[in-house]
Each structure stands twice: as C-alpha cells, then as structure tokens.
Structure 1
Amino acid sequence: AILDVEKDVKAVAVVYNETSTGVTLRSLPDIGKITRKKGILLIVDAVSVLLGDHLPVDDWGIDLCVAGSQKCFACPPGLAMVSVSEKAYEAAEKNKFRPFNHDFLLWRDFKARLETPFTPSIPLYYALDEALNMLMEEGLENRIRRHTICAETFYKTFENLGLEIVAKNEFRSNTVIVPYIPENINVDEFRRVLREKFKIAVAGGVGKLKGKVIRIGSMGVVSTYEVLATINGIIKTLKMFNYKPKNKLKKIVLEAKETLSQLKNFKF
C-alpha cells in the first residue's frame, strides 16, 4: 500500500533473516512479486541465511542479494558476496554519481577479464573455493535440509523444556534460534555458566529483548554433535538454576536424538 502512495520509491530493502529475534521474512516471495510489478529494485540482506534456507534469487525477483562468507558458507569472515540482476545493472548505468568502492559496473568490467578492481584477499579466496567444494559435495538441498533439521531439534527441545520461542512457528529461522530464559534467571549469569562450565557460547538479547533471551547460531558446519552438546549444556545449566522442565529430561534428549537421526546419511 505504501508503494501506491510513495511514487518516487526506487528500491525496497529487506532483511530476510532477522538475527535479534530469530525471525525469517516468509513473505519475501510476495514482496518480490510487488517490486517486480512496479519496476522497483529489491535489495535483500541474506547474510545470516543464504545456504541455510531456500532463497531462489531470480525466481523471487531479487535484484541485489547480499551474503557473507562467515555464516552458512562455513568460511572465514572477510568476504561479501553480492548477486546483481540485469535490472540492477541498468539502474547503476543510469546513476550519475557512481561510487568508488562498490561500483558494480566496475566489478563487472573486471570480471570479464577474470580480475578484480582492487587487491583481493587471496587466502580468503582459497578458503571460499574450498567451502564451495564442500557445498558441492554435500549438495545445496542437503545443506538447507541439515540446517532445517538442526533448527527443528532446537525448537522441539525448548518447547519440551517449557521455554517460549520469540518467533511464531511460521516465521522461525533455520539459522538463529531465540528462546526466552525464565524470568527468575539472570541471562548474563546463565550465559557465563554455560560458557565456563560447558564451553558453549551463546549471544544475549539486544534492544527490548536484552536480559530476556539467548540467541543460538546454528549454521555452517553445525550438525548432530554441536546441537546435542549445546542442548546438553543448556539443560544442565537450567538445572543448576533450579529450573523445572515441562517434560522429563530423558524424554527430551531422546526426542532430540530422534530428530537428529535424519542426518545420519548426510555427507558434510
């Protein structure tokens, strides 16, 4: 509706996977249909989710999709990957004030002769090349499925423990899981115990969720071992804070293992 009122909008920018809440924008395909119909550029921040969830860039009408090497690519940090549509190139060509650093037209020209416009980080290129080899061995659909299964395991476990999840079912992220911690437990102290006793590091909340939630990154090479270790650490830490779970712990752990058993034939 706002695009019908604001006639001079050139682009719409959205975050596909919001990491402070663990919410994934499931309406992204519909947004793409609208921007495509109106001839507006669609810019998507997919840093924390590309390869961890479905994102058919062309089918969804995404003109600029931005990702990072350090998340679901399972690669060292330091590289940004940006896909650029023909519509985005055309918009860049019409721009009278071309940027110095992020000039897509300049990058396109250098790409044609297999060069980069500035000195690249060669070690990171080699790391990315190997990360992509690993992706090809695992398969894109398998990688997305692995992230989905790991996330499902976390969500089922927290529900069985009686912990509420910030995101509603239909918007839950495959890569960032954000459960509320019981009000009578100090979140900073909870994170400290989890880190020092069990060597599991989780992030705290930000903004209005600060002091109320923990944030678990489940991406990259995360699989059965890491998920179970994290669940085990969280359960034991909750127990140290005298938290009484909704269901019996044995049942919770068995159900987590059963969900993760779907990964037994995966290659990664």
Structure 2
Amino acid sequence: MRPAPLVLLDLDGTLTDSAPGIVASAQAAYADLELPTPDAATLRTFVGPPIAGSFLAHGVPPERVAEAIAAYRRYFRAGGMYDNAVFEGVPEALRGLRAAGARLLVATSKPTVFARPIVEHFGLAELLDGVFGAPPDDLPSSKATVIAEALASLGPDGYDPASTLMVGDREHDVIGARAHGIDTLGVAWGYAVPGELLGAGAVAVLDGPAELVPAVADRLPLTPQKVRPEAAPTTGR
C-alpha cells in the first residue's frame, strides 16, 4: 500500500516569525564576547541556518564559536525563544493539509530541545505528526541530517520521495531536502533574500500561507474533495 503524502515543514520563517528572539539573543552573544555586532540585515540571516555556521561566518573566531553559542543559548532560554509568533494563516493551512490526508512533520535546524516546546507553546503541536530538530550543539548536524531523522521515524516503507515535499524559507531547506530526492516549496514570508529559493532549486515560491494547500495539492496525491476549492493554484516566481 502506498504511504500517505508527507509534508516536511521548516519552523523558523515558515511556521513562526522567530526573528525578534533570535536577533536579540545573537546581539547579546556578541556583546558578551565584546565583539563587533553585525548590522540588522546580517543578523536576520541568523534565522534558519544552524547557529554555529552563522557565528563563524560573521566575525566570531573559530575558537570562540562554542562560547558564542553558550551565550546565545542563555539569552534564548531566558525568554528569546518565545519572542516569536505564528504567521497569520499558518494554522488554517496546517488544518487544511491534514484534512486532505497529508502527514506533517517539522524538520528544523533549531535544536529539538527548543523546537518542541515552541511548537507546544504556540498551539501547533496538535496540528503536527512530529517535530524533529538538531541534536545538542556538540554534535554535527545539517538540514539533511534532520530530515533523515524525520524520515527514519516513519520506517523503511513509511514514505515515498515522489509523494513528499519540503516547505521552507531558506536555501538550506532546499539543499537538505534535495539530498533525499525531495522537492521544496519555498515561502516568501520568511527570511530568504530575493532569488535565494529559486536559485537553490525550489520548485515554486509561495507568497502567503493561503497558497500552501493548493500548491501541495498540485504536486501530491491529496484527497481532492477536501482541498478548499476556492483557493487559487500557485505559481512559481
């Protein structure tokens, strides 16, 4: 029997607008380390990718990256993780996908220890079938390894790449999914720079959460009668 359609979802920049807490925690880390703080546009690029790579790319010496991460986590745990909000229309889109027969798994570069409480805090856990994030900071990780863990949870016959999609807002979502033979729908309401998602190979870029159900239905075998008929089909851009 063919497995049910599967949608893998990024968290930061896709389901939630997490920039305020992430940016503030990164600023605090640079202050603690007495290093020059990047400008606001650069700090926004910290949303999504693994935090170690962001610090390394933006002025933190390799030997001080662990110190920067520790400082960042202190501020993040103290409240930054909840300086966050669900994007308008996301809960309705998740309900629509589940009603149409899709399974939904979060696959995020945020450590699992933060991702699961955030999903629960904002009332999204009941709309998802699982949440998978990065391991502790001392273990190597990438979006591809997080996706591998999410897929492994379904068992050897639990998914088919042809009936699976990734939904994310940054190029590393596209690259990580491609490592498993999975296409990605990009979302324009997140933190990608212009051209980033299509340049990385996303099959389309959606302008708003209302486009998510019809866009997935165009590519996966959802239950047709349960896909909202009034939603217009999406187009890439």
Q: Same fold (TM over 0.5)?
A: no
Bin for the TM-score computed over the shorter chain: 0.3 to 0.5
State TM-score, norm by structure 1.
0.30
Structure of higher RCO (CA pairs closer than 8 Å, 6+ residues apart): 2
Larger Rg: 1
